Amino acid sequence: MAVDVLWEELIHDLYKNGFILFGEYTLSSGMKSPYYIDLRMALSVPSILRKVASLYRYEAFHCCKFDAVAGIEVGSIPIAGILAYTMDIPMVYVRKSAKEYATKKFVEGRLQRGWRVLVLEDVSTTGRSILHAVEKLREEGAEVSDAIVFIDREQGASEKLAEVGVRLHAVYTVSKIFEVLYRAGYIDEETYSRVMNYIASQR
């Protein structure tokens, strides 16, 4: 299947399977949002998970050179595992807080100093979780210059990461997702205008 066809087809699948919701939601950042995208549900739908993994892998092949991938607790750990397995490369993951026993580490897995590590995340808002992962990986001697997020909410993550020398590569931006849904007739003009105005206000 051509990547551009897969790219648009998956947006339809995400909507039809209830991954994309409209209403009033409070995000982990504390921000209010008129929509919510629950990408973690992909773990329960193998047909969608395969497409998600394929698009992550495509983006990884085209974004940069790297020696290992890093997931972030907890959302992107499964996809990092899938990419590591299918691409035959090492994987580590970064904890939100240091383990309270034994090694008390932030970074789990075998990480060699000087490795170029590609950070993976599912959804980015402010970029806070990716910034944390970058900091902890660099403290362990890794080189981190690129991160892939499956969905960028366009609320400042790209700009914040650029300030610390990290390029953010997004499989989808929310504005493109809603454009596709509106064009396909899944959402009406009122809903489309409301979410697009929200996105514009957050940039």
The CATH number of the domain holding residue 101 is 3.40.50.2020
Per-residue pLDDT, 147 = 98
The answer to whether residue 12 sits within a structural domain is no
Cβ burial of 128 (10 Å; 0-12, 13-18, 19+) is middle
Q: Are 119 and 70 in contact (CB under 8 A)?
A: yes
Per-residue pLDDT, 99 = 67
The answer to whether residue 148 sits within a structural domain is yes
The answer to whether residue 2 sits within a structural domain is no
Give the type of residue at 169. H
Q: Tell me which residues of the chain have a pLDDT lower than 50.
A: none
Counting Cα atoms < 13 Å in the Cβ hemisphere of 9 gives: 13
The count of other CB atoms within 10 Å of the CB of residue 187 is 20
3-state helix, strand, coil in the chain (%, to 5): 45, 25, 30
Enclosing domain of residue 146: 54-202
- What is the model's pTM? 0.93
